[in-house]
Amino acid sequence: MVSIIIGLHIVVCVVLAVVVLLQQGKGADIGAVFGGSSQTLFGASGAGNLLTKLTGILALIFFTTSLYLAYFSNARVTSSIFDRPLRGVSPAPTTPGAARGPSKSAGAAAHTQPAAPPAKK
């Protein structure tokens, strides 16, 4: 069902863009591009009423499909990439001192005591 709504949404977006571009701007005649007046291009009643209604209908469909897709896109997400561990990476150490290194007191004790000779194999 989501695939059908996505297809409808894309078609409505393209048609809505074309219809908005066809509308007559303030002080401009759309028919001047085609060599006539806007009254003769779309008939005696002009294009204003038809294009305005079509824009309103397409905008309503666009907003409805946008809300539908936004609502159901959130419902389809079931997990996050942060919920599972990475492959091939060992987990971080869990002991508090292992992540920081030796503390200052251990470092001071190391300076006062002589180092043990390395063990021979």
pLDDT in tens, 49-63: 888 899 999 999 999
Task: Report residue 103 as tokens.
Answer: 């503390």
10 domain-assigned? no
Collapsed DSSP state (helix, strand, coil) of residue 3: helix
pLDDT one-digit tens code per residue, 86-102: 777 666 667 766 555 55
Half-sphere exposure of 43 (CA within 13 A, CB side): 6
Q: Which amino acid belongs to residue 75? A: A
In a domain, 99, yes or no: no
Residue 32 lies in a domain: no
Residue 62 lies in a domain: yes
29 located within any domain: no
Q: What is the pTM of this model?
A: 0.47
Counting the structural domains of the chain, the total is 1
In which domain, by residue range, is 62 found? 39-78
